[in-house]
Amino acid sequence: DKPGDSDTGVLTETKPKTDKPPLYKVMLLNDDYTPMEFVVHVLERFFGLSHAQSFEIMLTVHKKGLAVVGVFSFEVAETKVAQVMDFARRHQHPLQCTMEKE
């Protein structure tokens, strides 16, 4: 309890509710089967990246195993992951997209 609560046993919320919400990194994972052009298309379509930016990120994933595609609020990150996973599944590619708190 903070000062002024006396001894009512009531726990007062002391954390300001104006804190900026946490951000989430959305990442693409490499695999051996998803075509490079498909990954580039996904990046253009769902992340609004240019063809050049998309190609660059795709190559980073291909070479390093994964890359951060963007940083978003929880809701937006969750939507992007779901859109990418659904699009990959519908095209029968094993492409994986995940999110992680920054």
Q: In the complex with ligand TYC, which residue's Cβ is closer, 5 or 37?
A: 37
Q: Any idea how long the chain is? A: 102
Whole-number Å distance between alpha carbons of 6 and 79: 46
Q: Give the nearest distance from C-beta 88 to ligand TYC in angstroms.
A: 9
Q: In the complex with ligand TYC, which residue's Cβ is closer, 49 or 61?
A: 61
Q: Give the nearest distance from C-beta 44 to ligand TYC in angstroms.
A: 14
Q: Give the nearest distance from C-beta 59 to ligand TYC in angstroms.
A: 8
Between the two ends of the chain, the Cα-to-Cα distance in Å is 31
Footprint of ligand TYC on this chain (CB under 6 A)?
28-32, 34-36, 39, 58, 61-62, 95
DSSP code of residue 40: H
Element (H, E) at 70: strand 66-72
Q: In the complex with ligand TYC, which residue's Cβ is closer, 24 or 43?
A: 43
Structure tokens at 12: 């007062």
